[in-house]
Amino acid sequence: MPFEIAATDSNSQARAGLLHTAHGSVPTPAYMPVATKGAVKTVSVPELEQMGANAIIANALHLYLRPGALNLQRAGGLHKFMLWNRTIFTDSGGFQIIRKKLNIKKNDDGLIFKDFFNGSIKHYTPELCMEMQHAIGSDVAMLLDDCPPFDAVPSKVKEALQQTLLWSKRGIQRGRELGLPQIFAIVQGGTDAALRRYCTEELEKLNPDGYGIGGLSIGEPKEVMIQTLTDTNHILPKEKVRYLMGVGSVKEMLDAISLGVDFFDSTFPTQCARHGTIFTSQGRLNMKGLKLEKEDRPLDENCDCETCKKYSRSYINHLLRESEMLGMRLTSIHNLSYVLGVIRKARAHILEGTFIQFKKSIQEGDITPS
Q: Catalytic residue among 9, 262, 265, 300, which?
A: 265
Rounded to an integer, what is the distance from CA 148 to the centroid of its chain?
Answer: 18
Instruction: Establish whether 108 is a catalytic residue.
Output: no
Judge if the upstream peptide bond of residue 237 is cis by omega within 30 degrees of 0.
no
Q: Is 38 in the site for a copy of itself (CB under 8 A)?
A: yes
State yes or no: residue 311 binds a copy of itself (CB under 8 A).
yes
| Least distance from a copy of itself to the Cβ atom of residue 23, Å | 18
Which one among 14, 26, 32, 43 touches a copy of itself, defined by CB under 8 A? 43
Alpha carbon 194 to chain centroid, angstroms: 25
Side-chain half-sphere of 250: how many Cα atoms within 13 Å? 29
**Is position 209 annotated as part of the catalytic site?**
no
Judged by CB under 8 A, which of 312, 356, 358, 364 binds a copy of itself?
312
Please state, in angstroms and rounded to a whole number, the distance separating the CA atoms of residues 359 and 288: 28
Which residue stretch of 2-10, 16-24, 243-251, 311-319 sits at the interface with a copy of itself (rule: CB under 8 A)?
311-319
- Stretch of 12-20, 104-112, 293-301, 339-347 lying at the interface with a copy of itself (CB under 8 A): 293-301
- Does position 328 interact with a copy of itself (CB under 8 A)? The reply is yes
324 binds a copy of itself (CB under 8 A): yes
- Report the nearest approach of a copy of itself to the CB of residue 321 (Å): 6
CA-CA distance, 211 to 111, in Å (whole number)?
21
3-class secondary-structure state, position 23: coil
- Identify whether the C-beta of residue 45 lies closer than 8 Å to the C-beta of residue 39: no
Residue 44: is it exposed, middle or buried by C-beta count within 10 angstroms (0-12/13-18/19+)?
middle
Q: Which of 2, 52, 67, 181 binds a copy of itself (CB under 8 A)?
A: 67
**Strand, coil or helix: 201:** helix
Kindly give, in sequence order, each residue whose CB lies less than 8 Å from that of residue 254, ignoring residues fewer than 6 positions away: 342, 346, 359, 362
User: d(Cα 74, Cα 52) in Å, to the nearest integer?
Assistant: 29
Establish if 358 lies at the interface with a copy of itself (CB under 8 A). Answer: no
Q: Which one of residues 33, 208, 327, 341 is an interface residue with a copy of itself (CB under 8 A)? A: 327
Strands 105-107 vs 110-114: parallel, antiparallel or unpaired: antiparallel
Q: Which of 115, 131, 146 shows the shortest CA–CA distance to 123?
A: 115
> Of these, 8, 20, 23, 41, which contacts a copy of itself (CB under 8 A)?
41
Q: Name the catalytic one among 9, 91, 255, 300.
A: 91
Binding of residue 101 to a copy of itself (CB under 8 A):
no
Contact between 287 and a copy of itself per CB under 8 A = no
271 binds a copy of itself (CB under 8 A): no
**Which residues of this chain interact with a copy of itself, rule CB under 8 A?**
37-39, 41-44, 66-68, 71, 74-75, 81-83, 293-294, 296, 310-312, 314-315, 318-319, 321-322, 324-329
Residues marked active site are found at: 91, 265
